[in-house]
Amino acid sequence: DEQLVQSETVVKQPGESLTISCEGSGNTFATSWIAWVRQKPGKGREWMGVIYVGDSDTKYSPSFQGQVTMSADKTISTAYLHWTSLQASDTGVYYCARLKEMSSPLDSWGQGSLVLVSS
């Protein structure tokens, strides 16, 4: 099984940039799709987008297109989620999760990265 380890809790101010990471420890990371899922406080889960680690093909959910940037480096088995200018509304827990292929369930999840944006 692919184990996913995410970067730790971070506190940022509005307007700052941020990149969080998701590192895989199995031998399938380079041929996996990695999804990013947001959960805002007291709310449900939202699918932000997916990236194929092998060639960095990305697919964004319409609500998140232009708001974040997904990237991946297969040589170090790591996927990234980047914001150029955070807003308070970006506060939430962000999970990475693995899909074996595009139309498949999320079979491994990271532990979540809490992002707190506050002035």
Residue numbers of the site for another protein (CB under 8 A)?
Answer: 1, 35, 37, 44-47, 49, 59-63, 95, 97, 99, 102-112
Query: φ, ψ for residue 106 (rounded to 5)?
Result: -85, 100
Min dist CB 75 to another protein, Å, is 25
Say whether 42 sits in a helix, a strand or coil: coil
Q: CA-CA distances (angstroms) from residue 93 to 26, 75, 87, 119?
A: 24, 26, 14, 18
- Name 93's bridge partners: 39, 114
Name the residue nearer to another protein (CB basis): 38 or 83.
38
Name the residue nearer to another protein (CB basis): 3 or 71.
3
- Name 83's bridge partners: 18
Min dist CB 16 to another protein, Å, is 26
Name the residue nearer to another protein (CB basis): 35 or 115.
35
Min dist CB 18 to another protein, Å, is 21
Min dist CB 44 to another protein, Å, is 4
